[in-house]
Structure 1
Amino acid sequence: MIVTGYLVFIGVGTSLLLLPVATAGPERATFVEALFTATSAGCITGLVVVDTGTFYSPFGHAVIVGMFQVGGLGIMTVASLLGLLVARRMGLRMQLIAHTETKNLRLGDIRRVIIGVIKMSFLIEAVTAVFLTSRYMIAYADSPGEALYWGVFHAVSAFNSAGFALQSDSMMQYVDDPFILIPVMVAFTLGAIGFPVIFEVTRHLRTTMRESDPEVDATPRHWTVHTKITILTHGVLAVVGIFSVIMFEWANPATMGPLSTMQKLLAGTFQGLAPRSSGFNTIETGDMSAATVLITDVLMFIGGGSAGTAGGIKVTTFALLGFVILAELRGQPTVHVMGRKIADTVQRQALTVALISIAAVMSGTIFILGISEHRLETVLFEVISAFCTVGLSMGITADLPAAGQVVLCILMFAGRIGPIILASALALQERPRRYELPEERPIVG
């Protein structure tokens, strides 16, 4: 149902973008251009084959904004509901009270999750839009209406990690403007970290402020393992990304070299966080050093938090695989993380999601290399960006053959919906074995 719904959703968006009123000039969008834009917007990726700001009319912009708004809300809602369903089926609390509750979500749970997602999304988008509109009005726009138009568009695009911008150079012209870049960074970071984490942290903060009882402890040590892993891993990867971009691009004359020290720090921070799924860039991605490109590939593949607007295999998947490796190196038969044992099924799910994602990226890269003359470095970057719904580009998207652009559409669609459905299906369809075969130990390594 989810797959069918998104296919219909993208089909409607494609049809609307094919209308003459959707383009700014007399030239109409081709089917592939409309399909690619609709898929990129609906899957909140940000890759484009035409200039969004100049090619499409205000009607076209409204369609695009509507698509990545609904795409962001839909993915967050679906992912949150599936995550809650999985957690309730696998959690200890459900096992203890299984005789009084069903394994399905109650109406109150569904209503709370959906309303919470919508409220959080609109609140963050509204606050971001106020900051951006004010800045556009002061420094860039010709009128308050234009400032509001640009502010709302980029606020919604930022929080939903859509990566669409009305200017052809993304955020490069604002490389020295913290009043634009900081609100955008905050918005796409909150969207990427995931709704369950934000919901739990805010709930603990409300409990702390509301309760005066000294025995009530809502400190981070009482957060769930998911929230702890997400925040810790997200923070570590953010530091790695920011430090790497600043270090490798500091003296690069094609990117950050000509900037002042403060501008370099601002641009490096933005570009270091961008691979987590924002799709915006403040420096020319195609001119980055090979080391920065490789690190960006890795960060894009990992992505952000579960049940958020970020793509990738998710930071929890990446962290769990790291904990599994650490336990194996220590010779420990089980995996323990932050005072909790990690179930074997969760470990297998993380490994499955990671390996299938690697296979998808490799398959798409090989296909596009076979039908184009672009280098491996640029094609791999583009494929990872598409499958992990990031939206960063080295500038080859529009130059690819139509077949290559269709492949990117498939990758965007699969990357946006696939990991969520795959992980949930693996958890919800677990079946115990009724017997075990004799054990054998193949040679490893």
Structure 2
Amino acid sequence: MKKKQLPNRMSPPKFLAIGFLSIALIGTLLLKLPISVEHGIHTKFIDAFFTAVSAISVTGLTVVDTGTHWSTFGQIVILMLIQLGGLGFMTSATWIALMLNRRISLRERMILQEAMGQYQIQGIVDLIRRVLIYAFTIEGIGALLLTLRFWKEMPLTDAVYLGVFQSVSIFNNAGFDLLGSIHGPFTGFVAYGTDPVLNIINMFLIFLGGIGFIVMFDVMEYPKCRKLSLHSKVVLTVSALLIGIGAIALFMLEFSNQATLGPLSYPQKIMASFFQSITSRSGGISTVDIGELQQSTQFFLIMLMFIGAAPGSTGGGIKVTTFAVLVGSVITMIKGKRDVVLFRNRISEAIVYRAVTLTIISLLLLVGFSMFLSATESKDFLAILFEAVSAFCTVGLSMGITTDLSEAGKVTIAILMFLGRLGPLTLAYALNRKRYKELYRHPEGRIIIG
């Protein structure tokens, strides 16, 4: 009798954590099957596990080349993991239940509320329906456009397969690609750095996947209601500023670097700068060799990766809304004011505390894991820090050290990817718990700051 009650007593964060880990282990076992790899290739368990975690966390870091190491079956397994990780396995399970006309229980609605980062449970099932419609529509349009582009250089069936895989991967900000089978292992999209059609399609897919479904809904409803929520205003404004500032910084820092933007024409430099600015916040694909960037540029990308995408999106990081609240808090303190105000709306102290807490915990985790990796890996510290931030913020960019990681390094990066995908959700739930009314308050004390 007690065993039957255990699942009902499991908190939503625990349920999500166990669910993600279970899917990662199932994916690992599937990738270990002989049918999952090309003929004559053997896959270590740690490599299969690393790939499965990278896919379910929609990160994109790889220790083996996706296009040449895995068979079609293995690539489809990875694609399914990406889709489950991007939408969330509870969202996918809800879709199946709705298809079967099964009623969604209150507990399942609570877990969906947690997974989607919503403050209320009302309308959560309708939200899931819209999420699935929007996601599959965007992925479908992206697949069609990419297919038409790849059809120019390969048979139609190959173009369709590549278009579908890349559309799902890029929209979910996963960073996996199959281009190693065309241009050589781990080449990625570098060969298409001057292709305006492919660059524009990919930038739009990354951007749409990174702003979050709530913002998409608001934008679609804007012509009717002529109003955007505060959340959407903050996400769109901060995202636009980060993209613009990032593109300008990348253009200036890499303008004369012959290994990156140097040989390109002015329009191509601008396009490549915008692409790296957009993808560095969670996209995971790149049209330049990240390892050849200036150290100042690499560190700048670390900051963009740490900020990440929007809440409720397929991206990671501390989120643009958290960054906005932090910046607003600094401005409020400098001006000597009391309240943090964004778009003429006062932000509650509880939200400010959550933003500070989430940022500090994320920084502490990155510091600790980076120190451990610096002890296990004989690599430059900047490259190790870049790898750690990319993993925890589920970005997928790398300076080229992923394939050289030790066994301990692979496990560490896998843990970072898992924490990065799940950690903010768990923390948000813990910080959103109902607070009991304190019966007394301690006397106020003063300490010196600064």
The alignment's TM-score, normalised by the length of structure 1, stands at: 0.90
Matches within 5 A, 1:36-435: 36-74=50-88, 77=91, 81-82=113-114, 86-88=118-120, 105-106=121-122, 109-138=123-152, 140-141=153-154, 143-167=155-179, 168-205=186-223, 207=224, 218-219=225-226, 222-435=227-440
1:86, distance to aligned residue in structure 2 (A): 4.8
1:311 and 1:388 in contact (8 A); partners too: yes
Q: Distance in 2 between matches of 1:79 and 1:419?
A: 15
Tell me the SS of whatever aligns to 1:336.
Answer: strand
Deviations 1:97-152 (A, max 9, x none): xxxxxxxx24xx122111111111100000011110001002x21x1100001100
Letter of the aligned partner of 1:409 in structure 2?
A: A
In structure 2, do the counterparts of structure 1 residues 223 and 321 end up closer, same or farther at CA, with 3 Å as the change threshold?
A: same
Once residues 315 and 304 of structure 2 are traced to their aligned partners in structure 1, the CA distance between those partners, rounded to angstroms, is 11
Distance (whole Å) between structure 2 residues aligned to residue 338 and residue 75 of structure 1: 35
Aligned partner of 1:13 in structure 2 is 27
Whether the 8 Å CA contact 1:76–1:117 is kept in 2: the answer is no
Cα offset, 1:52, TM superposition: 0.6
State the distance in 1 between where 2:143 and 2:383 align: 33
Q: 1:358 to 1:156 in 2, by over 3 A?
A: same
Is contact 1:312-1:415 (8 Å) kept? yes
> In structure 1, what is the equivalent of residue 6 of structure 2?
none
Q: How many residues align?
A: 412
The alignment-based identity, stated in percent, is 39
The residue identity in structure 2 corresponding to 1:166 is: L
> Any conservation in 2 of the 1:86–1:428 contact (CA below 8 Å)?
no
Distance 1:432 1:75 in 2: 36
Letter in 2 for 1:340: N
Instruction: Report the counterpart of residue 212 of structure 1 in structure 2.
Output: none
In structure 1, what is the Cα distance between the partners aligned to 2:150 and 2:442? 67
> Cα–Cα, structure 1 residues 196 and 12, in superposed 2: closer, same or farther, change >3 Å?
same
Distance 2:430 2:218 in 1: 24
Cα deviation code 1:16-45 (max 9, x no counterpart): 000001001312210110000000000000
Q: Structure 2: where are the runs of 5+ without partners?
A: 1-14, 92-109, 180-185
Q: CA separation in 1, counterparts of 2:381 and 2:355?
A: 27
Q: Which stretch shows the higher mean deviation, 281-290 or 238-247? A: 238-247
CA distance in 2, matches of 1:372, 1:305: 32
Amino acid at match of 1:420: L
Q: Which amino acid is the alignment partner of residue 129 of structure 1? A: A
Matched residue SS, 2:88: helix
- Kept in 2: contact 1:159–1:188 (CA 8 A): yes
CA deviations on 1:28-75 (whole Å, 9 max, x unpaired) are: 210110000000000000000001100000001000000001110117
In structure 1, C-alpha distance between the alignment counterparts of 2:300 and 2:116, rounded to whole Å: 32
Structure 1 gaps, min length 5: 89-104, 208-217
Write the distance in 2 (CA, Å) between the matches of 1:363 and 1:337. 33
4+ long deviations beyond 6 Å: none
Amino acid at match of 2:210: A
Return closer, same or farther for 1:169/1:431 CA change in 2, 3 Å cut-off: farther
Query: Is the contact made by 2:55 and 2:174 (CA closer than 8 Å) also made in structure 1?
Result: yes
- How many angstroms apart in 1 are the aligned matches of 2:436 and 2:216? 32
CA separation in 2, counterparts of 1:264 and 1:253? 12
Question: In the TM superposition, what is the alpha-carbon distance from 1:428 to its structure 2 partner?
Answer: 2.9
Partners in 1 of 2:39 and 2:115 — Cα distance? 44
The CA distance in 2 between the partners of 1:161 and 1:43, in whole Å, is 10
CA contact (8 A) 2:147 2:160 kept: yes
C-alpha separation in 2, matches of 1:59 and 1:175: 29
Q: Measure the CA separation in 2 of the matches of 1:177 and 1:31.
A: 37
Which letter maps to 1:435? Y
